[in-house]
Amino acid sequence: MATIGYARVSTFGQSLDAQIEALNGCDKIFQEKISGSKRERPALDAALDYVRDGDVLIVTKLDRLARNTAHLLELVEVFETKGVTLQIKNIGIDTGTPTGRLMLTMIGAIATFEREIMLERQAEGIAKAKQDGRYKGRKPTAQAKKTELLELIANGMSKRQAASELGISESSVYRLLDNVAAMSEQCANKT
C-alpha cells in the first residue's frame, strides 16, 4: 500500500507549499498549477494512472480534487474500480468506510450547490450594476491594440515580442490574428 498525495492551485501566482507540507509523509506527491474547472489536468491524470489496488490518494481539501459533484463522483468511481481509497485531510473523510463514501457524496453535493449559488449571486450583482450603469465590464485591452499589433507583425516582429511590447498575452496575439484572418477570409468569400 502506498500513499499518494495530490496538490493543486489554480494560478501560477499561488503557492503549493502549504499543501505539500500537509502531504509530507506521502510516498509520492503529484502537483500542478491549473484551474480546477479544467477536466484535463495532467498531474491528476498521472496520479490516477499511478495508483494501484490498496493505495490511498490524499488531498488537503475537496476543492483541490474536484469542483463539482459530477466530477467528484466520476473520480470516486475510478478509485473504487482501482481499489483505491480517497482521504480528504481537512474534513477527515476516508472513502475506505461506507460512512466516508456517504459523507463525501453529500459534501460534494453541498459544495456544488454553494458554488452555483455564489455564481448566481455574482451574475445578479453584475446585472444590477449594469442596470445602474456602474458596470462596464473589463476593457478590451488586446482588442484596443489590434492596429498596433498588426503593424508590429507586418514589420517582422515575432508574436512573442509583439505580445511583450504591447503588454498583452501571446494567446491574445494569436486570437486577434486568427480573428483578422477569419474576417479577411469572409471578405474574400463575399467577393
Please identify every residue annotated as catalytic: 10
Residue type for 128, please?
A: K
Among 31, 26, 23, residue whose Cα is nearest residue 3 = 26
Cβ atoms of residues 128 and 155 within 8 Å: no
Return d(Cα 121, Cα 110) in angstroms, integer. Answer: 16
Within 10 A of 134 (CB to CB), how many other CB atoms are there?
A: 9
**Angle at which helices 98-131 and 69-82 cross, to 10°:** 160
